[in-house]
């Protein structure tokens, strides 16, 4: 407990909120502190203070039953020291003041306390699980008891808290709690905490007793003692089990034999203690064995008799030893001299009983064979000892001499080796004595213990001989060397060319042992092909070209063999055999085909079609013979109609008669099936047997004649006068077609059409169209001429229009000569004139055929040569009818509009080509303006 410091101040006015007093009129007296706390026999100071008094005629005194001595003071205050407070209830201390005839008082209460002399816990002896013990705490000589609180705890758990009533003077108290022990209480500390609280007037004092640790134990059952039967001159272990013990680390186990202590080793597992004691060799007879377990103040014991017996030696003999195959062997089992005859048994190694009887000696006769070599025999003797039976065993192994033998697993007649692995010709023979084995081929001895690389040359027949002292045995061994599949260029060319419409098949020969199974499948689709087929109609950048899957190019498509590749698949380019073309909008010119034309890689590889060069099979030819022939003795299947081309596969020939079978890949047969462009692409041929898989990629290119689809070569084009113009015509075909375009004109006559009447008629019809156009121009000229005669003031406009017509005709004549010799399907004109209008023939050809198409080119231009004329004349009499005409040139045909004086008597002709004035008036006079517009201008 702590001791509080004195509580008083040298300046009374500082403690005004705590001062108490009685005021008489305006004169007051205060005392401080209000409640004073003091230890029994100690001292305390009380301050008395007053208010001011007129004339300073005032006094301060103190009234108390305790001795009081004045201390420091001032004009308005005085302190008093109360010494040796030795009364438990001294009463209040009163401060009195007088000012003239006025008197005032104030009081301070006193609390006298005493700290406990001691706080202590009673000791707690060890307690068994389930038993109860009182936990008692003593607090000696403390006051005031009403302010005391005592708390009992077990660990951090509060068991009991007690407070007390008021009493005079100091007193001693005790607090108890009845505890029922559990295993969880073991090792827990019991504590006692006492608090003396003088608050709010004084401090809080606390004191604790020294903790007491709980010891809990359990030993519910006596030990379980296990003692073996003990043979004379032998040692053994006795075992003592103590179950449910707690705590296992505090269990002490002792053992004794005939009251002599034994060495004990204990092991705890959970709540079980197992003790083992070593028993020394003992003389025959009865002995006493005991085991005692002790924990805390409890001990429990177990006692058991120990019997020591005598058992004679057991013997097992085989004769003769060793034995010769096909002769008798005697098995004898017996014991030495003994008063008690045991039960004897002769058993084999599997535990089967061969002979038995209660006698001192037992015999068995067997005929030895080679299988008996190493056979095990056992002799078992059983002896009754009291209520128990003890046994002894002896064993012996039979050795049999026999000539060499070749077991099936030790020297198989047929072997299969994997080429490239390291193998040796092992041939194990049995025999006793162990035989010597030699193998030979064609009279030459070969190694049977050193591994060598397996090659085809090691395949064949070997003769192996095993020899020992009893004879010789021989065996013929056949070795077969197997190897993984292979696919070579000679048997499976990696590039093959087919022709659309003809019959072809994909041929792939494989080699391997066992005969491989070969299968050819297309690799992925057009978006996942490999980048083979450089200029061979294969796949480039993810697309199958020239016979690949239609319409599967991605983000621009691919064209094998082109410079730039096509650029016009994103916006709906057409797909014709894998070739894609650009779009046109509002009649705009199609793209140039010189660098971006359809690419069909050149697949000639320096040879002619129908031959094989650089590993590429063309025209149906094969490297090992024409299609339809048999090779290596194998035949081809019938032709089917699958979605993939026919595939012919052959297995390897190991011994001249092995063939691989075909799985998948389409129909088979010498004639194949009709080839389409969809058959082109990359194929993967896989040959497999149990030793591995071989793969080979085969690129199939399908060639086909040209075609001129509408998207790549539109029949109608529109150009703009004065702007660049391009005539392009893209063709599909493989090999890439050569495209030429020429204008159909008189100078060509029938140079290219003599053999084609229909084409000539087309040319004739186009010529007639041009003639009709010329007649239109001629009629226009006549109109201009009549206008000139009737309206001289419009002659200048007519003359200018005629000059434009004359210039356009000259451009037409010059450009027709330029287009006459245009080739490669594309021509660019820097400045288009009206003379470029006409019909052109575009022709595509390759070695498989040709195709042609007529292309009509129309040249558009903005309005020009706008003229206005009045009939009958510009001077119109009032009330007369007249008509104002407007004429303009342009393509497409211009739309006409008028700016004129408004009047109600106007009548408009169709297409606004004229305005009729019915009954002219003064309102119709003025300027008449005609405006011509089309999409190219006004």
Contact 81, 97 (CB under 8 A): no
Counting every residue written for the chain, the total comes to 938
Contact 559, 673 (CB under 8 A): no
pLDDT of residue 203: 92
Q: DSSP 3-state assignment of 210?
A: coil
pLDDT of 597 higher than 80: no
Distances in whole angstroms, Cα of residue 905 to Cα of each of 95, 883, 921, 924: 136, 12, 9, 9
Q: In degrees rounded to 5, what are phi and psi of residue 3?
A: -105, 125
Q: In degrees rounded to 5, what are phi and psi of residue 486?
A: -135, 150
- Tokens 């078992």 — which residue? 380
Contact 529, 548 (CB under 8 A): yes
Going by C-alpha positions, the residue among 871, 883, 601, 586 that lies closest to residue 716 is: 586
pLDDT of 283 higher than 80: yes
Contact 266, 251 (CB under 8 A): yes
pLDDT of 751 higher than 80: no
Contact 75, 111 (CB under 8 A): no
Tokens of residue 899, six digits? 């700016």
pLDDT of residue 3: 36
| 32-53 average pLDDT score | 93
pLDDT of 303 higher than 50: yes
Pairwise CA distance, residues 843 & 762, whole Å: 14
Tokens of residue 774, six digits? 């010329």
Distances in whole angstroms, Cα of residue 697 to Cα of each of 485, 519, 521, 689: 15, 12, 10, 19
Q: Which of 86-95, 333-342, 537-546 has the highest mean pLDDT?
A: 86-95
| 741-755 average pLDDT score | 51
pLDDT of residue 806: 64
All residues at 6 or more sequence positions from 64 whose CB lies less than 8 Å from its CB, including other chains: 82, 90, 91, 92, 93, 94
Pairwise CA distance, residues 164 & 167, whole Å: 9
Cis before 33 (ω within 30): yes
pLDDT of residue 252: 94
| 861-879 average pLDDT score | 88
Given pLDDT bands bounded at 50, 70 and 90, which one contains residue 747? very low
pLDDT of residue 54: 84
C-alpha torsion sign, points 743, 746, 751, 753: positive
Give the H or E element holding residue 448: none
Tokens of residue 253, six digits? 């186990």
Q: Which residues pair with 128 in a beta bridge?
A: 217
Contact 484, 447 (CB under 8 A): no
Pairwise CA distance, residues 689 & 520, whole Å: 15
- Tokens 């006459």 — which residue? 820
All residues at 6 or more sequence positions from 439 whose CB lies less than 8 Å from its CB, including other chains: 425, 427, 445, 446, 448, 462, 463, 464, 465, 477
Contact 745, 820 (CB under 8 A): yes
Going by C-alpha positions, the residue among 650, 656, 625 that lies closest to residue 637 is: 650
Q: DSSP 3-state assignment of 861?
A: strand
pLDDT of 851 higher than 90: yes
Distances in whole angstroms, Cα of residue 733 to Cα of each of 60, 598, 703, 739, 849: 137, 8, 7, 11, 9
Q: DSSP 3-state assignment of 679?
A: helix
Q: In degrees rounded to 5, what are phi and psi of residue 807?
A: -65, -40
Cis before 735 (ω within 30): yes
Distances in whole angstroms, Cα of residue 121 to Cα of each of 143, 145, 181, 194: 20, 19, 18, 12
- Tokens 């020899």 — which residue? 467
pLDDT tens-digit readout, 201-260: 999 999 999 999 999 999 989 999 998 888 888 889 999 999 999 999 899 999 999 999
- Tokens 């019938």 — which residue? 638
Pairwise CA distance, residues 232 & 307, whole Å: 10
Q: Out of 55-64, 106-115, 558-567, which region has the weakest mean confidence (pLDDT)?
A: 558-567
What is the residue-wise DSSP string for 111-130?
A: EEEB--SEEEEPP---EETT
Pairwise CA distance, residues 856 & 743, whole Å: 10
Q: Which residue has the higher pLDDT, 443 or 780?
A: 443
pLDDT of residue 791: 58
pLDDT of residue 6: 34
Q: Which residue has the higher pLDDT, 377 or 669?
A: 377
- Tokens 């820097």 — which residue? 830
Q: Is 487 exposed, middle or buried (0-12, 13-18, 19+ CB in 10 A)?
A: buried
| 119-131 average pLDDT score | 94
Q: Which residue has the higher pLDDT, 861 or 635?
A: 861
Distances in whole angstroms, Cα of residue 828 to Cα of each of 142, 510, 561, 640, 861: 125, 55, 23, 50, 18
pLDDT of residue 864: 87
pLDDT of residue 428: 92
Tell me the three-class secondary structure of 234-248, residue by residue.
CCEEEEEEEECCECH
Given pLDDT bands bounded at 50, 70 and 90, which one contains residue 594? very low
Pairwise CA distance, residues 38 & 109, whole Å: 11
Q: By percentage, how much of the chain surpasses pLDDT 70? A: 74
| 415-441 average pLDDT score | 92
Contact 214, 186 (CB under 8 A): yes
Centre a 10 Å sphere on the Cβ of residue 607 and count the other Cβ atoms it contains: 14
pLDDT of 538 higher than 70: no
Pairwise CA distance, residues 58 & 727, whole Å: 137
pLDDT of residue 169: 85
Q: Is 402 exposed, middle or buried (0-12, 13-18, 19+ CB in 10 A)?
A: buried
Tokens of residue 243, six digits? 């179950």
pLDDT of residue 760: 59
Count Cα neighbours of 425 within 13 Å in the Cβ-side half-sphere.
26
pLDDT of 531 higher than 70: no
Q: DSSP 3-state assignment of 161?
A: strand
pLDDT of residue 916: 93
pLDDT tens-digit readout, 622-657: 333 333 333 333 333 333 333 334 444 444 443 333
Tokens of residue 798, six digits? 């007519």
| 598-620 average pLDDT score | 34
546 DSSP assignment:
S
pLDDT of residue 313: 85
Going by C-alpha positions, the residue among 823, 839, 819 that lies closest to residue 762 is: 839
pLDDT of residue 823: 44
pLDDT tens-digit readout, 795-827: 555 565 565 556 555 554 554 444 444 444 567
pLDDT of 778 higher than 90: no
Whole-model pTM? 0.40
| 160-165 average pLDDT score | 92
| 568-587 average pLDDT score | 34
pLDDT of 931 higher than 90: yes
Contact 262, 275 (CB under 8 A): no
Q: Which residues pair with 405 in a beta bridge?
A: 430
| 303-324 average pLDDT score | 89
């Amino acid at each position: 407990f702590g001791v509080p410091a004195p509580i008083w101040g040298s300046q009374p006015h500082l403690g005004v909120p705590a001062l108490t007093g009685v005021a008489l009129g305006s004169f007051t007296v205060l005392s401080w502190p209000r409640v004073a706390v003091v230890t029994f026999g100690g001292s305390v100071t009380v301050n008395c203070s007053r208010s001011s008094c007129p004339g300073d005629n005032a006094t301060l005194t103190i009234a108390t039953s305790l001795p009081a001595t004045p201390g420091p003071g001032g004009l308005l205050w005085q302190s008093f020291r109360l010494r040796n407070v030795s009364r438990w209830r001294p009463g209040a201390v009163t401060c009195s003041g007088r000012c003239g005839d006025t008197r005032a008082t104030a009081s301070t209460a006193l609390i006298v306390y005493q700290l406990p002399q001691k706080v202590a816990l009673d000791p707690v002896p060890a307690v068994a699980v389930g038993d109860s013990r009182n936990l008692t705490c003593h607090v000696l000589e403390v006051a005031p008891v009403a302010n005391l609180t005592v708390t009992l705890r077990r660990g951090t758990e509060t068991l009991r808290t007690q407070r007390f009533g008021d009493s005079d003077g100091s007193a001693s108290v005790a607090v108890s709690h009845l505890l029922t022990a559990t295993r969880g209480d073991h090792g827990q500390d019991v504590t006692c905490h006492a608090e003396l609280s003088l608050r709010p007037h004084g401090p809080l004092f606390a004191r604790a007793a020294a903790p007491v640790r709980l010891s809990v134990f359990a030993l519910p059952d006596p030990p379980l003692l296990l003692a073996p039967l003990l043979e004379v001159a032998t040692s053994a272990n006795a075992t003592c089990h103590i179950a449910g013990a707690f705590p296992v680390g505090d269990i002490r186990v002792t053992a004794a034999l005939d009251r002599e202590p034994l060495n004990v080793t204990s092991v705890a597992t959970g709540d079980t203690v197992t003790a083992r004691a070593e028993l020394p060799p003992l003389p025959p007879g009865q002995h006493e064995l005991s085991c005692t377990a002790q924990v805390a103040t409890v001990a429990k014991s177990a006692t058991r008799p120990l019997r020591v017996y005598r058992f004679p030696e057991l013997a097992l003999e085989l004769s003769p030893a060793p034995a010769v195959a096909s002769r008798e062997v005697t098995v004898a089992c017996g014991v030495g001299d003994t008063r008690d005859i045991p039960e004897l048994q002769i058993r084999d190694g599997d535990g089967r009983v061969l002979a038995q009887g209660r006698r001192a000696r037992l015999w068995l006769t067997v005929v030895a064979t080679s299988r008996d070599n190493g056979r095990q025999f056992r002799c078992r003797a059983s002896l009754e000892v009291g209520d128990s039976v003890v046994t002894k065993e002896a064993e012996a192994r039979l050795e049999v001499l026999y000539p060499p033998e070749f077991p099936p697993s030790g020297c198989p007649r047929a072997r299969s080796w994997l080429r490239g692995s390291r193998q040796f010709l092992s041939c194990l023979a049995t025999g006793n004595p162990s035989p010597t084995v030699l193998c030979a081929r064609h009279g030459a001895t070969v190694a049977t213990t050193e591994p060598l690389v397996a090659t085809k040359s090691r395949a064949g027949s070997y003769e192996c001989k095993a020899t020992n002292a009893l004879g010789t045995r021989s065996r013929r061994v056949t070795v077969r060397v197997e190897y993984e599949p292979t696919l070579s260029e000679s048997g499976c060319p990696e590039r093959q060319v087919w022709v659309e419409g003809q019959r072809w098949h994909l041929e792939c020969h494989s080699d391997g042992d066992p005969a491989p199974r070969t299968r050819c499948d297309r690799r992925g689709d057009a978006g996942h092909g490999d980048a083979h087929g450089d200029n061979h109609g294969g796949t480039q950048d993810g697309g199958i070209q020239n016979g690949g899957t239609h319409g599967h190019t991605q983000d621009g498509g691919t064209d094998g063999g082109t410079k730039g590749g096509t650029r016009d698949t994103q916006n709906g380019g057409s797909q014709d055999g894998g070739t894609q073309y650009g779009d046109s909008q509002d009649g705009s010119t199609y793209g140039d085909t010189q660098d971006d034309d359809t690419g069909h890689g050149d697949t000639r590889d320096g040879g002619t079609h129908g031959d094989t060069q650089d590993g590429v099979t063309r025209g149906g030819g094969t490297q090992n013979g024409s299609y339809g022939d048999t090779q290596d003795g194998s035949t081809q299947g019938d032709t089917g109609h699958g979605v993939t081309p026919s595939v012919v596969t052959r297995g390897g020939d190991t011994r001249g008669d092995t063939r691989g079978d075909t799985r998948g890949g389409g129909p088979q047969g010498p004639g194949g099936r009709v080839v389409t462009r969809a058959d082109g692409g990359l194929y993967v041929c896989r040959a497999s047997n149990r030793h591995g898989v071989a793969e080979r990629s085969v690129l199939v290119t399908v060639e086909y004649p040209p075609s001129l689809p509408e998207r790549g070569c539109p029949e109608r084009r529109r150009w703009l006068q004065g702007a660049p113009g391009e005539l392009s015509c893209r063709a599909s075909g493989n090999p890439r077609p050569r495209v030429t375009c020429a204008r159909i004109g008189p100078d060509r006559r029938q140079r290219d059409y003599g053999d084609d009447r229909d084409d000539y008629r087309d040319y004739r019809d186009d010529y007639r169209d041009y003639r009709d156009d010329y007649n239109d121009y001629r009629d226009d000229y006549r109109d201009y001429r009549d206008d000139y005669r009737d309206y001289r003031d419009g002659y200048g406009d007519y003359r200018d229009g005629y000059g434009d017509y004359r210039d356009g005709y000259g451009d037409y004549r010059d450009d027709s000569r330029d287009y006459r010799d245009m080739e490669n399907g594309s021509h660019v004109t820097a400045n288009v004139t009206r003379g470029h209008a006409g019909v052109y023939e575009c022709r595509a050809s390759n070695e498989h055929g040709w195709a042609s198409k007529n292309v009509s080119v129309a040249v558009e231009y903005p309005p020009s040569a706008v003229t206005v004329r009045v009939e009958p004349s510009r001077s119109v009499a009032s009330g007369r009818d007249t008509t104002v005409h407007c004429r303009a040139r342009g393509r497409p045909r211009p739309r006409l509009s008028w700016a004129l004086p408004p009047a109600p008597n106007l009548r408009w002709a169709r297409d606004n080509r004229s305005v009729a004035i019915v009954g002219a008036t003064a309102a119709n006079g003025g300027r008449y303006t005609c405006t011509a517009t089309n999409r190219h201008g006004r």
